[in-house]
Amino acid sequence: MRAIQNEIRALRSDFKSDLGEFRLSLRDDMRKDLNEFRGEINRKLKETTDDLQTTKARVTETEQRIAEIEEWDGAASDALIQALEKQEVLQAKLTDLEACSRRNNLRIYGVPEGSEGNDLPEFVTRLIKSELGPQIDVVDLGIQRCHRELAPKPPRDAPPRSLVLCFLEFRVKEQVLHTAWKNKEVCYQGKRIFFDRDYLPETLKKRKAYAEGGILKELKAKGIRFQTPYPAKLRVFFESGTQIYECAAEAAKDLKKKGFSLENVKGPDSTQSKQRRLATWEKAGADRRRQPVDQERIRERLRSFRRALAKKPAAKKSPKKVKKPVTPKAKKSPKKAKKPAKSPKTAKKPAAAAAKKATKSPRKAKPAKPKVSKAKAGKPKKAVPKKK
């Protein structure tokens, strides 16, 4: 029994020493992990602070650049609008000069291709004198130049190119034109031909807008007399009086008010109006530069961001609490092994089993059972201590 007790004491001392070593090693590991975790948090916090300072500097620089760009954009927009206004004036003058250079020109539409032969001036002179000769009192028309419209030759089924005539005198050109208009129908080889002024492409487009918008057709249906003066105006003779319109959009708007059924006609969009419509971006930094309160708001946000970063390590301590429940489990496991050593009865049973194994007499253990069975009639409780 003393040997067993000594062994139990030795086991207790060994278990205590092992448990103490385990506690020390666990404490050292936890301290090491905590120090590493703290160092990593400090390092990341330092990196975040550095990045934040860099970002703040870049934001400040960006704001300065944006302010400079906005100032430049305002000045550039004003200069551009002024340049466009001048460009519109110059464009109008240039258009007027080109139109004046065409004042002596005349166009003839509907003359078949190739009918002029090799001598176009002679052909045009014979055409005008044969169709309009009796009404023209000019012996020499004074045609300086004449040619077909500068365009590729059309196919046979397409309408022919117009003839462009340049007269030496404006008076002769106007006499030929008005004579052709008075005759109303001038034919060549059984086909009707038309005489008209040599308009610019822009002017011709504006004049066509009256017909494409259905304005002229509606006026003809109503039996209202009208004229299209140079360059692209519309003169309408109402019963209440004469009205002159500068463009097709203005005419359509006014005629709709008077009860005419017309489609919507868009007016010509000037270069300045296009620029003012396109340059509609708002200045983002105008109020920012005027109100320093926005700068304070940005600084306050940066401070709140720093506070949030400072609070994040405290929130990250949760992993430490996760490690603590692991340690009591390791402590409880040796206690469970220690319980059988504390109870003397449990300690005696393995000792008796070890003594039986040392004797190695399994056959003698069998006859011992019948002795116990015989003693059942008497006092069986005393037989158990005898075996011990």
Domain limits for position 237? 200-266
Task: Give me the number of domains the chain comprises.
Answer: 3
Q: Among candidates 91, 236, 108, 101, which has minimal Cα distance to 161?
A: 108
Q: Cα(333)–Cα(331) distance, rounded to whole angstroms?
A: 6
In a domain, 357, yes or no: no
* Residue 335 pLDDT > 80: no
User: Are 1 and 95 within one domain?
Assistant: yes
- Same-domain status, 136 and 187: yes
Chain position carrying tokens 């001598």: 119
Same structural domain, 5 and 88? yes
pLDDT number for residue 26: 86
Same domain (yes/no): 89, 12: yes
373 found inside a domain: no
Instruction: Indicate whether 70 and 151 sit together in one domain.
Output: no
Q: What is the pLDDT of residue 333?
A: 42
User: Which CATH number characterizes residue 119's domain?
Assistant: 3.30.70.1820
Q: DSSP for 83-141, please give it.
A: HHHHHHHHHHHHHHHHHHHTTTEEEEE-PPTTTTTT-HHHHHHHHHHHHHGGG---S--
Residue 14, pLDDT score: 81
pTM of the model: 0.51
Rounded to whole angstroms, the Cα distance separating 176 from 197 reads: 11
User: DSSP per residue over 25-87, as a string?
Assistant: HHHHHHHHHHHHHHHHHHHHHHHHHHHHHHHHHHHHHHHHHHHHHHHHHHHHHHHHHHHHHHH
**Is 350 inside a domain boundary?**
no
Cβ 197 vs Cβ 105: under 8 Å: yes
pLDDT at 170 (0 to 100) = 92
The larger pLDDT score, comparing residue 311 to residue 16, is at 16
* Tens digit of each residue's pLDDT (9 = 90 or more) over 247-264: 888 888 888 888 888 766
Same domain? 111 vs 96: no
57: amino acid identity, one letter:
A
Whether residue 379 is contained in a domain is answered as: no
215 contact partners, CB below 8 Å, separation of at least 6: 234, 248, 251, 252, 255, 262, 265
One-letter identity of residue 382? K
**Which stretch of 203-207, 240-244, 283-287 has the lowest confidence by average pLDDT?**
283-287
**SS3 assignment, position 227:** strand
Give the residue-averaged pLDDT of 56-65.
91
- Asked if residue 294 belongs to a domain, the reply is no
Question: Are residues 157 and 108 located together in one domain of the fold?
Answer: yes
